[in-house]
A = this chain, B = another copy of it.
Amino acid sequence: MTTSRPRTRIQAKNHALILEAALDVFSSHGFRGATLDQIAERAGLSKPNLLYYFASKEAMHQALLARLLETWLDPLRAMNAGGDPVAEILAYVQRKLQLARDFPRESRLFANEMLQGAPRMMDAITGDLKALVDQKAKVLQAWMDQGRIARLNPVHLIFSIWALTQHYADFDVQVRGVLGEGHDPWAEAGEYLQTLFTRLLRPLP
């Protein structure tokens, strides 16, 4: 069934089971590289059963992307124009980092989509995402004009937050490989990014 949301308990369970498995596979192989057989095996269901709950491979991917976008935009939405500028931005950085740590597969799914040129997310990017960024960029710009944070390109400031936090999820293998044993990448990242943005944002005298 392509129809909206699950109606029975079994539907709810298997719907979730499939999306969970699909996230695993899509996030590490991309859309084209993922196969229904892989997803079916990981979900513990037969392939035809998968297609009983989702109309197609495409539909599974779309369902994941739709769910993802909400989660992804929320922390930026939470950045409050009324709060203390530096504290608000630092809080956003840490929330985004936690998101990357707790949902690395979602982060990689998103990254895969971007690498492929966002064929299934273009609308969301130039629509909701751009609108939200434009709005928050204005908030940042106002803070800068008031001299409460350093003057920077506000949109690129947001880009740098995205880049620095997602990096730890998307390039996890590289981060761990280069750090070697006996490191907690996420804890170190939290500290490092705190320092970085504190220094970056402090207004010049």
- Chain A residues packing against B (C-beta within 8 Å): 27-34, 108, 111-112, 114-118, 122, 125-126, 129-130, 133, 150, 152-153, 155-157, 159-160, 162-164, 166-168, 170-175, 177-180, 188-189, 191-192, 195-196, 199-200
A32-B32, A112-B30 given as contacts; is B129 within 8 A of A192 (CB)? no
Asked if B28 and A130 make an inter-chain contact with CB atoms under 8 angstroms apart, the answer reads no
Majority SS at the chain A contact face? helix
Q: What number of copies of this chain does the assembly contain?
A: 2
A114-B170, A115-B28 given as contacts; is B160 within 8 A of A196 (CB)? yes
Interface centre among A118, A168, A171 (most CB of B within 10 A): A171
6 further A-B pairs in the complex, CB-CB below 8 A; given A30-B112, A157-B192, A159-B168: A30-B32, A130-B178, A156-B192, A159-B167, A160-B167, A162-B167
